[in-house]
């Protein structure tokens, strides 16, 4: 286990000020910086990289025609945006919960307001994708929404920012591949590009806050985080295979193929590698509990 980088309040304030300045130089209005005039139809290519789709490489995928695969990618994008709206709502509430305790003179106060504004724009952007996609309004299921409410009610600030990192790291890896892939619909690439640019700042602050707060967490808080972290991360991963997508496509049994797909499982582990590496260094993933993380498909 590493000795955590101990950041002082002044260090965190300097980081927040730098991120405010970066936000002023590189922020987007998705409704003017993305060209929404391109028809949102299957004639313009895939909506996510084929290799990122949970069914890629399975027998179900092999039996699909190219138009069916493209339509499937459109449904998966809409489902991912629906999950993204849920993620952003949870993340905003965590940030606002943190802000509630901060005086206006705190070095992070202004930046956290900027981050909240970013997340509001992202949710609006995701909603626009869903409205144009011609798919059902995919949402995370009630049990997951309940889990989110429970997490919001009980999470400490360090645990909350670890949850933020889990969601953002998983989405960031997929978005980086999407935005640079010429096979992908231009609107989908534009959405990914906006999200990557702004979420990079959110990830940077969350990592700094964890380094600042974790050394001061009590023994009980650390134990609770070790117990809850794998299930929090697993819930986020679950959103990548929404059963409603397969039902809408008339392939409800295909979700089993997606969940068990070794290509999909390896990609999830790879996309979480920065997060799980950090959690290992912090002592949240240990030799004692690593087998559980492995059984949940989150590490090798």
User: Is 16 part of any domain?
Assistant: yes
pLDDT value at position 38? 95
Digit-by-digit pLDDT tens for the chain (300 residues) are 444 455 677 889 999 999 999 999 999 999 999 999 999 999 999 999 999 999 999 999 999 999 999 999 999 999 999 999 999 999 999 999 999 999 999 999 999 999 999 999 999 999 999 999 999 999 998 888 999 999 999 988 888 888 888 888 888 999 999 999 999 999 999 999 999 999 999 999 999 998 888 888 889 989 999 999 999 999 999 988 999 999 999 999 999 999 999 999 999 999 999 999 999 998 999 999 999 999 999 998
pLDDT value at position 3? 45
User: Is 69 part of any domain?
Assistant: yes
User: Is 221 part of any domain?
Assistant: yes
- In three state form, how does the secondary structure of the chain look? CCCCCCCCHHHHHHHHHHHHHHHHHCCCCHHHHCCCCCCCCHHHCECCCHHHCCCCCCHHHHHCCHHHHHHHHHHHHHHHHHHHHHHHHHHHHHHHHHHHCCCCCCCCHHHHHHHHHHHHHHHHHHHHHHHHHCCCCCCCCHHHHHHHHHHHHHCCHHHHHHHHHHHHHHHHHHHHHHHCCCCECHHHHHHHHHHHHHHHHHHHHHHHHHHHHHHHCCHHHHHHHHHHHHHHHHHHHHHHHCHHHHHHCCCCCHHHHHHHCHHHHHHHHHHCHHHHHHHHHHCCCCCCCHHHHHHCCCCC
User: Is 269 part of any domain?
Assistant: yes
> Can you give the CATH number for the domain in which 223 is found?
1.10.620.20
Number of domains in the chain: 1
User: Is 39 part of any domain?
Assistant: no
Structural domain span for residue 135: 9-26+62-295
pLDDT value at position 2? 45
User: Is 38 part of any domain?
Assistant: no
User: Is 37 part of any domain?
Assistant: no
pLDDT value at position 158? 84
pLDDT value at position 97? 92
pLDDT value at position 211? 86
């Amino acid at each position: 286990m590493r000795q955590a980088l101990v950041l002082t309040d002044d260090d965190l304030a300097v980081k927040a000020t730098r991120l405010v300045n970066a936000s002023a130089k590189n922020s987007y209005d998705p409704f003017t910086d993305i060209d929404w005039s391109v028809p949102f139809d299957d004639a313009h290519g895939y909506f996510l990289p084929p290799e990122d789709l949970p069914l890629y490489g399975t027998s179900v995928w092999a039996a699909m025609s190219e138009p069916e695969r493209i339509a499937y990618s459109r449904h998966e994008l809409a489902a991912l945006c629906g999950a993204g709206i849920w993620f952003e709502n949870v993340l905003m509430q965590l940030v606002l919960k943190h802000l509630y305790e901060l005086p206006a003179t705190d070095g992070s106060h202004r930046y956290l307001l900027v981050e909240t504004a970013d997340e509001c724009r992202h949710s609006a952007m995701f909603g626009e994708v869903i409205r144009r996609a011609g798919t059902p309004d995919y949402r995370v299921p009630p049990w997951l929404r309940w889990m989110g409410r429970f997490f919001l009610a009980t999470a400490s600030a360090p645990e909350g920012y670890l949850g933020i990192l889990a969601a953002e790291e998983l989405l960031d890896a997929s978005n980086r591949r999407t935005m640079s892939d010429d096979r992908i619909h231009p609107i989908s690439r534009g959405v990914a590009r906006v999200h990557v640019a702004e979420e990079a700042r959110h990830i940077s602050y969350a990592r700094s806050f964890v380094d600042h707060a974790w050394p001061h967490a009590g023994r009980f808080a650390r134990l609770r985080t070790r117990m809850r972290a794998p299930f929090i991360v697993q819930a986020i991963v679950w959103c990548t295979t929404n059963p409603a997508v397969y039902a809408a496509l008339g392939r409800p049994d295909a979700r089993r193929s997606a969940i068990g797909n070794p290509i999909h499982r390896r990609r999830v582990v790879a996309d979480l590698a920065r997060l799980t590496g950090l959690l290992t260094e912090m002592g949240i993933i240990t030799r004692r509990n690593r087998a559980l993380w492995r059984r949940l498909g989150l590490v090798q």
